[in-house]
């Protein structure tokens, strides 16, 4: 309960700050009306420098993405950090991932973890079903809430997934792909359809803001005994460990296998590594 209360306070604070930034960005962009691109460039640079004095560079990058949402097409490109600053962020991220991989957590009761998720599929509570689907399909919370579509295929313990939010850089890539699932197809598909009907037509951003609080609380309530401190994103990481343990062919590297199931590029080693938070003993 203490953890949950802390999380609620943290989430409310994040939402409050997010709304503040959105309003701040909209107000700032109004000041650019009537200015030339060159004039706007100078004003935006001054605003970015001001933000750097108040926030860490990673936060500034996120804030500028909010500014871009209310900017004009002509000014949108101005709201960005420098390439050198971007490289610095990427370097720190890679170092952080290396530390995570060197401190993996063992999942000792895999069957208990999966069975808990299967039981939650029949819950009447939306957050319970969402976190169950996160573990059993490995999809992101916003995908489960707003975009997921599943199709049956002949292979056992697999499904065809459409609805990935992070798009491939390859424009010719197919809309969907095969993923491993940790339970029978029909109950998973029915639960996914039920969630989409309950949520209604919401954008991924609105779906996340509306339901992330409850979904993360439900995750901790039901899965803490298996994973320790955990959130919705950790269920995706636990899924990665389980499918690698159960289904990875011997002649396929773990990064290639996880990338295929999670929808990442096989060459994106940093992202593949971040999903190796957990391990299972053979």
Are 141 and 241 part of one and the same domain? yes
**CA-to-CA distance for 187 and 121, rounded, in angstroms?**
7
- 110 and 51 in one domain? no
Q: Which residues, 6 or more positions from 196, have their beta carbon under 8 angstroms from its beta carbon?
A: 145, 146, 148
**Which of 65, 81, 97 lies at the terminal end of a domain, its last residue?**
81
147 & 275 share domain = yes
Residues 6+ apart with CB under 8 A from 255: 266, 269, 272, 273
Nearest to 188 by CA among 207, 212, 161, 215: 161
Give yes or no: residues 120 and 62 share one domain. Answer: no
Say if residue 37 is in the same domain as residue 148: no
Residues 160 and 267 in one domain: yes
Q: Residue 222 in contact with residue 116, Cβ under 8 Å?
A: yes
- Considering the domain architecture, whether residues 250 and 135 belong to the same structural domain is answered as yes
Q: Are strands 149-152 and 176-180 parallel, antiparallel or unpaired?
A: unpaired
Please check whether residue 96 lies inside any domain of the structure: no
130 is a domain residue: yes
Q: Among the listed ranges 89-98, 181-190, 251-260, which one has the minimum average pLDDT value?
A: 89-98
What does the pLDDT read at residue 271? 65
- Is residue 275 located within the same domain as residue 164? yes
Evaluate the CA torsion angle 187, 189, 193, 196 in order and state its sign: positive
Q: Please calculate the CA angle 13-212-140 and round it to the nearest 5 degrees.
A: 130
Is residue 88 one of the residues assigned to a domain?
no
Which of 52-66, 236-250, 260-274 tops mean pLDDT?
A: 236-250
Structural domains of the chain, count: 2
Report the SS3 class of residue 278.
strand
Does a structural domain hold residue 62? yes
Q: What is the pLDDT of residues 143-162, one digit of tens each?
A: 999 999 999 998 889 999 99
Q: Please state, in angstroms and rounded to a whole number, the distance separating the CA atoms of residues 186 and 195.
A: 14
> Listing from the earlier edge strand, what are the strands of the sheet with 158-162?
149-152, 158-162, 176-180
CATH number reported for the structural domain that contains residue 186 in this entry? 1.10.443.30
Both 130 and 37 in a single domain?
A: no
Residue 133 and residue 125: Cα distance in Å, rounded? Answer: 13
**Residue 211: closest CA among 143, 118, 115, 137:** 143
Domain match, 23 and 157 both: no
Distance separating the N- and C-terminal Cα atoms of the chain: 34
- Structure confidence at residue 96 (pLDDT): 66
Could you give the maximum distance between any two Cα atoms of the chain, in Å? 66
State both tokens at 147.
């975009």
Residue 67 lies in a domain: yes
Domain that holds residue 26: 12-81
Q: How do residues 16-67 score in pLDDT, each as one tens digit?
A: 456 778 888 889 999 999 999 899 999 999 999 999 898 888 888 888 888 9
**Are residues 32 and 142 located together in one domain of the fold?**
no
* Residue 165 and residue 50 share a domain: no
Strand partners, 149: 162
Q: Is residue 5 part of a domain?
A: no
Q: What is the pLDDT of residue 115?
A: 97
Handedness of CA 221, 226, 227, 231 (dihedral sign): negative
Mean pLDDT for the stretch of residues 163-181:
74
Give the residue ranges of DSSP H helices in the chain.
Answer: 2-30, 37-54, 57-69, 83-101, 110-120, 126-137, 141-146, 185-199, 204-227, 232-247, 254-262, 269-274
């Amino acid at each position: 309960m203490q953890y949950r209360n802390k999380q609620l306070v943290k989430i409310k604070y994040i939402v409050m700050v997010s709304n503040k930034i959105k309003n701040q960005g909209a107000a700032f962009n109004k000041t650019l009306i009537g200015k030339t691109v060159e004039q706007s460039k100078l004003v935006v640079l001054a605003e970015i420098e001001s933000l750097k004095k108040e926030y860490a560079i990673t936060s500034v990058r996120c804030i500028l993405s909010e500014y871009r949402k209310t900017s004009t097409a002509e000014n949108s490109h101005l709201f960005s950090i420098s390439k050198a600053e971007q490289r610095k962020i990427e370097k720190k991220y890679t170092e952080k991932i290396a530390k995570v991989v060197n401190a993996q957590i063992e999942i000792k009761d895999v069957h208990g973890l999966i069975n808990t998720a299967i039981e939650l599929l029949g819950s009447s509570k939306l957050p319970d079903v969402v976190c169950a689907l996160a573990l059993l399909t490995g999809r992101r919370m916003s995908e489960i809430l707003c975009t997921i579509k599943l199709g049956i295929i002949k292979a056992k313990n697999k499904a065809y997934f459409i609805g990935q939010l992070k798009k491939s850089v390859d424009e010719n890539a197919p809309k969907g792909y095969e993923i491993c699932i940790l339970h029978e197809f029909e109950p998973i598909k029915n639960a996914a359809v039920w969630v989409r009907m309950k949520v209604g037509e919401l954008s991924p951003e609105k779906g996340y803001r509306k339901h992330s609080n409850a979904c993360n609380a439900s995750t901790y309530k039901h899965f803490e005994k298996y994973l320790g401190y955990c959130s919705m994103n950790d269920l995706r990481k636990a899924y990665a460990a389980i499918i690698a343990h159960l289904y990875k062919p011997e002649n396929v590297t773990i990064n290639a296998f996880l990338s295929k199931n999670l929808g990442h590029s096989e060459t994106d080693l940093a992202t593949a590594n971040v999903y190796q938070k957990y391990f299972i003993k053979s």
